[in-house]
Amino acid sequence: MGEHNLARLIESSFERHGDYEALYFEGKWHNAADLFERGRRVAGGLRELGIQPKDRVVVMMANCPEVGILYHALWRIGAVITPAIFLLPPEELRHVLTHSEAVAIVTSPELLATVDAAIEGAPSVRHVIVAGETPEGKIDFATLEQADPIEIADQDDNDLAALLFTGGTTGRSKGVMLNHSNLWQAGKGGHEASFVPGINRTIVPLPLAHSFGILVAVAGGHAEEPSVSALQRWFDPSSLLQMIQELQMQRTTVVPTMLQMLLDMPLEEHDLSTLVQVISGASPLSVDVAKEFERRVPSAEILEGYGLSETGGAMTVNRPGKRKLGSVGQPYSNCEVRLVDDDGNEVGEGGEGEVTCRAPFVMQGYWRDEEATANTIRDGWLYTGDVGRFDHDGNLYIVDRKKDLIIRGGFNVYPRDVEEVLLQHPAVARAGVVGKPDPSKGEEVVGFVQLNEGAEATPEEIIAFAKERLGGYKYPREVRIIDAVPLTPVLKIDRKQLRAQLQEESG
């Protein structure tokens, strides 16, 4: 067995810490020993269904204890977890099922309609397993727990552990292949970078079926102290605040949109004094949002990090007590990051270039897509498609997605720069910026904004506000006020959808 086997990591963590109240979910505590034993039994139940090592099993569930139990069980039998965000529509889920050739899908009762629609075109799926009320013809998750527990299957470090489908913001989603060692190393790097003795109570509103959520889960397996977690089925700002207060949670992991939603809540009505770490990732965090949250929750330090599905969700993070707002921190100790120009030459300090990464947690490649793999991994370096710069202290700043770059009249305009300014307008709650084809300038900058509830502003006012604060070529010539700026399933601004809207209008 490889030394980085993830089922062994879970087992050694349990052996190290013993039994205790480990997980809180919807009013009930779950003990570490119970969760561990359930994982061993579910592994036996999956084996009895005929699921073999290397088989792909799609996990499409809202957060619940069964997700972690299932990950343990699947790694225990040597199968490959293939997570799917619970908000996926049937056609995207069908793509995940067919492309991965999954033999089974595990889901929740409220998602069955989507699953049933998706599996109609997915002949490889032999089993639909449901955690909760189970209709006829489906397998009840609880029956798997009645099987005899089994030992860990012999797996090498380079055997596939997870197949993560990217968000597909730049086209059809691709399957990212992560082996046991990739995820083990990502978790170790993440734990070492953010560990503070005594900070071990974490509330998790992020979907566990996302690379960031999986990273948080695996990092817990490396912890020197027993990890106590509280899980939200899905993000709900009001109950999150209540749970931080009642359970005295010390840390949470979020994406920036969650922080913006929390700022709309009456934070001062809750005792949040135990909250000392807020780890933000998955998309760029506005400095203004971070400052405002810390002003209203003085005990909390926001630590922004950066990673991709292709790096197991890991790469860089701000260190506790050494945070630099606006940056995504410094590379993990087991990771090299460099910035390169279009010719592959390294860019000096202060210069902008594509972020590349060499680390033991860089993916094996894209599932059955050698061309995309060769384009992304070159000479052992992963090319992220993101543009960044380093400051003199070695902190990385993400400027924007290379593919989202707007070239207006020969000048580079990064949507994130414009969005940051639009968000400074007191009436603006959310903003998304994209380029629109323009006969004279090549591309024109278009801003989509969602106003705060009850706020009023005209497009002209917002354009004038942006013009005052941005260079003459950067400010949006067109601003559209819409009911809701679209978000991806993991709450990033969906620029792909905004571009599609402009394309439809132009015919």
Q: What is the residue type of 134? A: T
Q: Which residue has the tokens 């727990």?
A: 145
Decide: 328 and 396 in contact? Cβ < 8 Å.
Answer: yes
Give the closest residue to 282 by CA, choosing from 188, 232, 216.
216
Please state, in angstroms and as integers, the Cα–Cα distance from residue 363 to each residue in 103, 244, 382, 398, following that order: 23, 35, 9, 21
Domains defined along the chain, listed by start: 405-506 (3.30.300.30)
Residue 260 confidence (pLDDT): 86
Decide: 399 and 414 in contact? Cβ < 8 Å.
Answer: yes
Please state, in angstroms and as integers, the Cα–Cα distance from residue 321 to each residue in 195, 303, 318, 329, following that order: 11, 9, 9, 12
Residue 170 confidence (pLDDT): 42
Calculate ∠ Cα 189-191-192, nearest 5°.
65
CA 328 to chain centre: 15
Q: What is the residue type of 374? A: A
> Whole-angstrom Cα distance, residue 347 to residue 306?
19
Residue 167 confidence (pLDDT): 62
Residue 169 confidence (pLDDT): 41
Residue 465 confidence (pLDDT): 96
> Whole-angstrom Cα distance, residue 298 to residue 295?
6
Dihedral of alpha carbons 356, 357, 358, 364, sign = negative
Both tokens assigned to 410: 């020969």
Q: Which residue has the tokens 């998955």?
A: 282
Backbone torsions φ then ψ of 125, nearest 5 degrees: -75, 115
pTM value > 0.75: yes
> Whole-angstrom Cα distance, residue 138 to residue 132?
11
Residue 492 confidence (pLDDT): 82
Helices (H), 297-340: none
Residues of the chain with pLDDT below 70 are 167-172, 507
SS3 25: strand
Task: Show Cβ contacts of residue 471 under 8 Å, excluding neighbours closer than 6 positions.
Answer: none
SS3 breakdown of the chain: % helix, strand, coil, rounded to 5?
35, 25, 40
